Amino acid sequence: MTQAQAYTRNLSGTLEDLLAAYVEQEAVRRRAEDAGIDRAVDGANRFHAANGHLPDDFPTLLAPPAVPQFDVCRNPRQCAAIPFVVSLQSSRL
């Protein structure tokens, strides 16, 4: 505190300005991260729509007759560690 007071006469105002700048920077970073995740999810879904799902091309990888289908979706809980989830549809589950 003593060192910081040597640089400014209005310590609380300086801290408030620094915190506001940090909050704005973090909001921009998170929006950019979310946009990147959205692009990845959209790209994966477009790929699957255009090319089919892996289990469709390689049904022998799964025990017949169930061939699960899956979709890539944003994690509804907004968890940064797990930005997207894969939903699986199978008659064996």
Please say whether the dihedral angle defined by the alpha carbons of residues 9, 10, 15 and 21, taken in this order, is positive or negative: negative
Does the pLDDT at position 22 exceed 70?
Answer: yes
Q: What percent of the chain has pLDDT over 90?
A: 25
pLDDT tens for residues 53-71?
766 655 555 554 454 566 6
**Contact criterion met (CB below 8 Å) for 37 and 84:** yes
Query: Mean pLDDT lowest for which of 1-10, 49-58, 76-85?
Result: 76-85
Phi, psi dihedrals of residue 11, rounded to the nearest 5° = -60, -45
